[in-house]
A and B are shown apart, each in its own frame.
Chain A
Amino acid sequence: MSILYDEGQQAIATESRRVLDARTSKDRLLKLLEQVGECDQPFWDTAVEQGWTALAIPEEYGGLGLGLTELGLVAQACGAATSGAPFLTGGYGLAQALVQGSDAALASEWLPKLASGEAIGSVAFAEGNAVLPPVPAVTFADGKLTGVKPAVAGGLKADLALVWASCAGELALVVVELANASRSAVDSYDNSRLYADLAFADTPAKLIALGDAARALALDVLARMAVVTAHEQVGGAEALLYVARDYAVTRKAFGQLIGAFQSIKHRIAEMYGLVEVARANCIHAAAQEGTSEFLLAAADARISATEAYDTNARDCIQIHGGIGVTWELGLHLHMRRARSLAVECGNLLFWEDVLVNELSGEKA
């Protein structure tokens, strides 16, 4: 796949950004921070209306049959807008697992609904700091799931979840309908992510991969979601770069624009460097989809994008001084999102290990 965007891809980037610029409301997003259990419905309606839920689902299941490059560009626009709902990435992860998994009937049942936005998907792998626990506490036996997955992104409203579980001493990937699970909301610093503890008690579920195949599929799903998230992080980091730049060319101190001080301009130049390195890794990773280099490329993208978004959130606020920490200006929307995205679908510690294992020839 080419690493230059074609016209169609450029149109997706421009159009998704334009739509979100027109429809995103900072006031709406700020309100959501103090409400548990609510996300930005206008954002999600837009995502469904624009066909973003269908983008990367194969055409035979009612999707548009596009790939990570296109979804990544949409995610980048969502990141710039601190999108108000967490379903795009989780839905994509679940859809990929259904496409690649062993249950064709399940795929036929759910993929069209995920594509149309009729159903919302989520992914529940992590338990605490174990991103892909070697022995998951959640167990699967006789078609039933038992145990708790903590703080699943989108878990509060999702219809369907992909769950990493233990199964008679082996590892398993199962799909479960959440109508049959009990969920309790997590009051978080980024509440529109709709984090929920998902509790299963003999909840009916379907196995889609077992043993080594489950592990390989889980890692692939995680890597794909990491690439989507990395794009979202780059979108946020880039937005912050230009917010900082715009402030530095308007705000004056000591009789001149603060952007003329090297402590400020060098900080902003460094923000640019972080964005461009992470962006380049994202473009490369999306183009490596399906190749043997994909996991390594995903790790590169994820690590550099996490560093870029965290750093740019920190530094953009610092450049603003006092106004930067006010609720009203809302830079904390990005600061919060930088951290929630840094933890969702694998923290830095996890991806650093994945990367070094790949390089040193050890198994992840």
Chain B
Amino acid sequence: MSDLNAYRASARAFLETMDAKYGRDARAGNTVEQDLALGRVYMAAKYDAGFGGINWPVDMGGQGLTHLHKIAFDGEEMQFGMPVGFFGISLGMPVPILMHYCEDKAFVKERVVKALRGEEIWCQMFSEPSGGSDLAALRTKVEPDGNGWKMNGQKIWTSWAQYCDYGVIVTRSDPTVAKHKGLTYFWIDMKAKGVDVRPIKLAGGDSHVNEVFFDDVRVEDSQRLGAVGAGFAVSLHTLMIERYIATDSGGFGPHLDEFVKLAKETDLNGRPAIEDGRMRSAIARNHAMRAGLDSITARAFAMMMAGMQPGPEGSLQKLVAVRSRQKLSELAMDMRGNQGLAFDEHAFVKTDWGTSWLNAPTGRIAGGSDEVLLNTIAEKILGLPQDHRPDKGIPFNAIPA
């Protein structure tokens, strides 16, 4: 524990030296492009200081430390609001999967270091118009083409694809077998001929997700990750890599202290809102819930340090935290009345209730919707039966559209 505490302290000391140049205040008012440029410089500085690829192997350009060191660093970094959002998915899933499955190690190492330094960004292309929660319903197809493959179709909700250099993708290579069985996984060059990225403007006004179209895109067989037909297993592996990440019981919105502060400062019916029973109840319920999630995290952390496998209750974090953040944001806006009608599109989600509210639905859908998470808890933890699945065991091309 002392080693980890010392590491956390050194991480904090480093982050404090970076704060003035890259932290939340420094980023205020940046356009997305300015923020991305700033983020690339920060990533390089972080790498040079020895905080890039913390839990990745040294021979791949990482630091060779444990997963716990990574969580410790991320927990500290999150508090500074550094411009790292562009690189989260890239380093979280596609690059680790490349390290695991790609056999050309010299190529991999070059990609890893460039990704860690923010010079290259990777995206992950899973969801399609015909399948978000139902991943295996995907239709983007690959066909043998000489000694390689030809790809056609469309992906959607691909984060940061417009800025990406590479991506990982799961496609249908055999429509004549059951839907989970005919999938194959590749990495692709996002600048390749036939790849067309079109940003989607979201409710909050930003465009961090995209549609990606593939029109006869040439893919070499050396770009395949895992066996032909093993794409679903590689996809699940991808989703499992970041199973234990730095969580936020505030649902990635404002800290409850912000709500308490607002309630103390706001006059409601001639007295501070903090004295209003409705506000008090909301504060107390949210605190109890968040404290429980924090304790689950602390326990998972302690178990990992003791070499044990954390319990499945960690899967509650996003489900419980984000939906409650959504309601608390509404209440904060109610508390402000018409003073809360003003809206700043560039405000930060962790400090602004309006922004937190407007972006909360994304959090409840992306990375597993509330409903899918509830299904997973019910089926995997509690042993309840699967939903009725009429397409089960039927060849993909025989499933009624």
**Interface residue ranges, A against B (CB under 8 Å):** 2-4, 241, 245, 248-249, 256-257, 259-260, 262, 264-266, 268-270, 272-273, 276-278, 280-281, 283-284, 297, 299-301, 303-304, 307, 351-353, 355-356, 359-360
Contacts and interface: CB of A to CB of B under 8 A. Distances in A.
A66 B298 CA distance: 23
Given A299-B284, A352-B280, A4 B306 contact: yes
B295 A280 contact: yes
Nearest to B249: A277
Given A299-B288, A356-B280, A262 B371 contact: yes
Interface of B: 256, 260, 263-264, 274, 280-281, 283-285, 287-289, 291-293, 295-296, 298-299, 302-303, 306, 308, 313, 316, 319-320, 371, 374-375, 377-379, 381-388
A16 B379 CA distance: 29
B292 A359 contact: no
Contacts of A264: 384
Contacts of A276: 292, 296, 313, 316
Nearest to A259: B384
A280 B296 contact: yes
6 contacts: A3-B298, A249-B384, A265-B379, A281-B291, A355-B288, A360-B263
B274 A356 contact: yes
A256 B384 CA distance: 12
A264 B303 CA distance: 32
Given A276-B316, A352-B284, A257 B385 contact: yes
Contacts of B280: 352-353, 356
Given A4-B299, A277-B289, 5 more contacts: A245-B383, A259-B385, A262-B375, A277-B293, A303-B285
Given A284-B295, A304-B288, A277 B384 contact: no
A298 to B, nearest CB: 11
A260 B382 contact: no
Contacts of B371: 262, 266
A303 B308 CA distance: 30
Name, among A266, A276, A360, the residue most crowded by chain B CB atoms within 10 Å (CB to CB): A276
A356 B287 CA distance: 9
B385 A359 contact: no
Nearest to B306: A4
Contacts of B308: 4
Given A262-B387, A360-B274, A284 B291 contact: yes
Given A269-B377, A281-B292, A303 B306 contact: no
B274 A277 contact: no
A173 B384 CA distance: 51
B263 to A, nearest CB: 8
A347 B381 CA distance: 32
Give the secondary structure class of A's interface: helix
Nearest to B314: A276
Contacts of B388: 256, 260
B62 to A, nearest CB: 29
A2 to B, nearest CB: 7
B249 to A, nearest CB: 10
A75 B274 CA distance: 34
Nearest to A362: B274
Q: Which 4 pairs show the lowest CB-CB distances between chains A and B? A: A277-B292, A352-B284, A280-B295, A265-B378
Given A4-B302, A248-B384, A304 B292 contact: yes
Name, among B264, B316, B320, B383, the residue most crowded by chain A CB atoms within 10 Å (CB to CB): B316
A324 to B, nearest CB: 18
Name, among B285, B288, B299, the residue most crowded by chain A CB atoms within 10 Å (CB to CB): B288
A360 B260 CA distance: 7
Contact of A265 (B264, B285, B320, B374): B374
A353 B281 CA distance: 8
B316 A268 contact: no
Nearest to B316: A273
Nearest to A257: B385
A2 B374 contact: no
B271 to A, nearest CB: 13
A284 B285 CA distance: 17
Nearest to B388: A260
B216 to A, nearest CB: 41
A273 B302 CA distance: 20
A352 B298 contact: no
A74 B385 CA distance: 33
Name, among B256, B289, B306, B384, the residue most crowded by chain A CB atoms within 10 Å (CB to CB): B384
B374 A270 contact: yes
B292 A278 contact: yes
Contacts of B379: 265
A269 B320 CA distance: 11
A277 B316 contact: yes
B264 to A, nearest CB: 6
Contacts of A256: 385, 388
Contact of B384 (A260, A273, A351): A260
Nearest to B279: A356
A260 B386 contact: yes
A352 B281 contact: yes
Nearest to B296: A280
A140 B172 CA distance: 81
Contacts of A356: 260, 274, 280, 283-284
Nearest to A242: B382
B317 to A, nearest CB: 10
Contact of A268 (B288, B382, B386): B382
B295 A260 contact: no
A348 to B, nearest CB: 8
B291 A297 contact: yes
Name, among B285, B306, B374, B379, the residue most crowded by chain A CB atoms within 10 Å (CB to CB): B374
A107 to B, nearest CB: 33
A360 to B, nearest CB: 5
Nearest to B373: A269
B382 A359 contact: no
Contacts of B285: 303, 307, 352
Given A2-B302, A245-B382, A280-B296, A359 B316 contact: no
A307 B292 CA distance: 13
A16 to B, nearest CB: 21
Given A245-B382, A248-B384, A262-B375, A283 B299 contact: yes
Contacts of A300: 287-288, 291-292
A193 B335 CA distance: 42
Nearest to A264: B384
B93 to A, nearest CB: 25
Contacts of B383: 245, 249
Contact of B378 (A269, A278, A360): A269
A351 B288 CA distance: 11
B194 to A, nearest CB: 40
Contacts of B299: 3-4, 280, 283
A281 B295 contact: yes
Contact of B296 (A268, A277, A301): A277
